[in-house]
Structure 1
Amino acid sequence: MVTLVRQEIFKLIHKKSTWAASVVLLVLMTGIAVMSHNQPNTFNPQAMYQESFMAVPWIYLFMIAASASIIAMEFQYGTIKELLYRKYYRGQIIISKWITMVLYSVYFFVLALAYSFILKLIFFSGTFQLDETYGAKHTVFAQTVYYSLTQFVALWLILSLVLLLANLFKSSAVAITIGIVGYFALSVVASILAILIKKWTWLKWNPLNMMNYPSQYISPSLKSMTLLSTNELLIGSLVYTAIFLVITYFVFKRRNV
């Protein structure tokens, strides 16, 4: 298992897209920081910092693409046969890919948090302080970290579904497209979903509603729309993630090479 994870990390490190994604993320974050510095009334500096200068949507895109390709491309190019010939179990292969993607997503969030701190020092050293109390609960820094954790949970809810789709389709492009469209479609269908949930309350347990977890953490008043507490959204997200990963595991074990 450890050998498989090392191999996956080695392949990830030596992919040009890995480093390109990192550079693009930092450039985009810098652009948002500059805009916030020049137009603080439009782009509130503290709010931008707490959202890692809008890094999260891009992390979602990069991780969706990486998660879809890490499985689909093994079948697309036939490299899965080499792993099986080396007497690795299919369960070991899929779990090693999960671990690699978890580490990759952690890398992105740590990178975003660290670079946000650097941008704060460069552009907003006197605008706000990280030890200031945000609301009545946490400091600005703590709130930023907690918000990133909620986004990490929501990200893995999407990635678990993307990994499943990547197993069901021969091309990674399909899984990537569905994952990206699904992520951005959430904001579009949110109002429709809220109406449906109020009409049929059992719909509050659908996985799309769980994607509201990060937003409700920031704005608890969203409970009137989701009809679930923030903790219930967290638990629901984790349960759905586990369900999708378990299904992925069994689909991968039975998939024809």
Structure 2
Amino acid sequence: MMTLYRQELMKLFKKKSTICCGMILAAVAVLFAILARVKPVIFPAKTVFTANFEAQQFIVFFMVAAAATTITMEFQFGTIKHVLTQRYSRPLVLVSKWLVLLTYSLLLYIGSSLLAILLKVCLVNDKFAIFSRAKFWHDWLAGVGGDFLNTWLLLSLVLLVAALFKSSGAAVAVGIIGYFVLGMVNIPMIALIRKYAWLKWNPLNMFNFSAQLGLPTLSKITKLTDVQLFWGNLAYIILFLVLGLLFFRRREA
């Protein structure tokens, strides 16, 4: 298992796109930190900081692309046959890919958070205080954690689609379109939840977890507590991953 994990990790970090993604995230964070410095009215420092100077928005797109291609590229280039001839079972191959994606996502989120603190100190330290305010630290870290969990809910769905189709385009489309459509379907979904209480457990409602952590009054709309949303996210992530595993096992090499 560790050998597979190391192989997948090497594949990921040998890609030029992996390094480029890190550089783009850093550039975006620096750009928004500068904008928060020179245009504080348009870009409030405290607001953009809570999203790691907008780096988190881009992490979602990068992770969707990585998740979509990690499976489909193996089949497109026929490398899956080589991996399977190494006496590794299909479940182990897929689990190793999950672990690599988890490692990559943790690196991006932790890295962007540390960079956000550095940029705050260097560029907008006089705009607001964080080091003396425990509640702000708690709210910020909770927000980052909530966004991380919501990202993985989306990734688990992307991985499920990637296990079904030979082209990575379908999985990427599901991830990107799904990310933008979520805001549009929220209003009709909320209306349906008011009418049918059981619909509050649908997976789309779980994407409100991160937003509700920042705005507790949203619980009146989602009809779920933070704890319920947390476990709901985990349950759907596991469900989508297991379904993806079942389809991956039956897929022709």
TM-score range for the pair, normalised by the shorter chain length: over 0.9
Match of 2:170 in 1: 174
Match of 1:156 in 2: 152
Summarize the alignment of residues 126-145 of structure 1 with structure 2, pairs less than 5 Å apart: 126-133=126-133, 138-145=134-141
- Unaligned runs of 5+ residues in structure 1 are none
| CA distance in 2 between partners of 1:108 and 1:68 (Å) | 17
AA aligned opposite 1:118 = L
Deviation digits for residues 126-174 of structure 1 (CA, Å, limit 9, x no counterpart): 22222243xxxx4323322221111111111111110010000110111
Aligned with 2:43: secondary structure? coil
Match of 1:189 in 2: 185
Aligned with 2:252: secondary structure? coil
Summarize the alignment of residues 1-257 of structure 1 with structure 2, pairs less than 5 Å apart: 1-133=1-133, 138-257=134-253
Deviation digits for residues 208-251 of structure 1 (CA, Å, limit 9, x no counterpart): 00000000011011112111111111110000001111111111
| CA distance in 1 between partners of 2:59 and 2:117 (Å) | 17
1:203 deviation in Å?
A: 1.2
8 Å contact from structure 1 (residues 131, 139) kept in 2: no
| Consecutive aligned runs of 4 or more in structure 1 exceeding 3 Å deviation | none
8 Å contact from structure 2 (residues 33, 53) kept in 1: yes
Deviation digits for residues 65-89 of structure 1 (CA, Å, limit 9, x no counterpart): 0001001111111110001111111
Aligned with 2:188: secondary structure? helix
- Unaligned runs of 5+ residues in structure 2 are none
1:107 deviation in Å?
A: 0.6
Aligned with 1:53: secondary structure? coil
8 Å contact from structure 1 (residues 154, 214) kept in 2: yes
1:42 deviation in Å?
A: 2.3
8 Å contact from structure 2 (residues 139, 213) kept in 1: no
Count of residues in correspondence between the two structures = 253
| CA distance in 2 between partners of 1:52 and 1:61 (Å) | 15
8 Å contact from structure 2 (residues 37, 124) kept in 1: yes
Aligned with 1:139: secondary structure? helix
8 Å contact from structure 1 (residues 132, 139) kept in 2: no
Question: Identity over the aligned pairs, expressed in percent?
Answer: 38
8 Å contact from structure 1 (residues 67, 159) kept in 2: yes
1:111 deviation in Å?
A: 1.1
Aligned with 1:256: secondary structure? coil
